[in-house]
Amino acid sequence: MEDVQRHPAPVALAIDRVGVKDLRLPLTVRDRTAGAQHTVARVELSVDLPAEFKGTHMSRFVEALEDFSEELDYASFRKLLAGIAERLNARTAFARFTFPYFLRRQSPVSGSTGLMGYTCHVQGVYADGRLDFTLGVEVPVMTVCPCSKAISEEGAHSQRAMVRIEARFKGFLWAEDLIEIAERSGSSPVYTLLKREDEKHVTETAFANPAFVEDVVRAAAQGLSCHPQVTWFRVEVESFESIHDHSAVAAIESRVEKA
């Protein structure tokens, strides 16, 4: 049958990425406590396309994903991207898996437990036989405004903030490590289940540790800089301000990738 995708492009411009997104995939990821955890990923796959070709072959992305093992690790991810590059005769291939990851968290005083869900992702760019692989997490924390606390006779405004971390690393890096760095950076972690005594503890802890969005992003960056496996990172903090109709944001990216 005629291969229309290989016809000349009417506008001869190279495309950086073309592919598919919002595929769903059952996934098994490593869990530091349980060994493994089953989840479902939302998948995006793409390749570059030279200027001379009209289109890419979308079905081949799905075929490559059908051959993917459900177990996610560096080796399986690299194999997937190498296969996509080969199937589509591409110089570069890109993949991103976004998935919920659950940890059982214990409330600070009562010891009550509840599952906390975190949005995680892995993404990679494969080019010339090399994989650039990144792990990312999104972690909610609580913040109390230092300025509001200093100028108010009673209370201060507090809110949730989202700490978003992306990291490249050597060896193996647990998602839990990034989650813990993020949770330590705020005024307090947040929890799924809190009894009254827990709520009292969380509130008092947070008010004893007020933090601007700038403080949170610096604390997270410091924690990432000190982690022995992390070679590069980008951290962004978004504070969903409770007394403003806008968010406050701050970001830090490491300047040099560690060996």
Q: What are the per-10-residue average pLDDT scores of the chain (259 residues)?
A: 56 85 95 95 94 79 89 92 92 97 96 96 94 97 95 92 97 96 97 96 96 98 96 97 95 86
With residue 131 as reference, give the H or E element that holds it. strand 130-144
Predicted local distance difference test score (pLDDT) of residue 258: 80
Backbone angles phi, psi at 102, to 5 degrees: -115, 135
Q: Cβ(83)–Cβ(129) under 8 Å?
A: no
Predicted local distance difference test score (pLDDT) of residue 11: 65
Predicted local distance difference test score (pLDDT) of residue 200: 97
Q: Kindly state whether residue 1 falls inside one of the protein's structural domains.
A: no
Q: Kindly state whether residue 231 falls inside one of the protein's structural domains.
A: yes
What crossing angle do the helices spanning 175-185 and 213-226 adopt, rounded to 10°?
140
Count of domains for the chain? 1
Q: Kindly state whether residue 2 falls inside one of the protein's structural domains.
A: no
Q: Kindly state whether residue 3 falls inside one of the protein's structural domains.
A: no
Predicted local distance difference test score (pLDDT) of residue 254: 95
Backbone angles phi, psi at 82, to 5 degrees: -65, -40
pLDDT, tens digit, 9 for 90 and up, residues 219-256: 999 999 999 999 999 999 999 999 999 999 999 999 87
- CA distance readout (Å), 152 to 141, 149, 155, 212, 244: 23, 6, 6, 16, 17
Q: CA 159, 189, 212, 230 torsion: positive or negative?
A: negative
CATH number at residue 110: 3.10.270.10
Predicted local distance difference test score (pLDDT) of residue 9: 60
Predicted local distance difference test score (pLDDT) of residue 3: 56
Global pTM?
A: 0.92
Domain of residue 53, residue span: 15-253
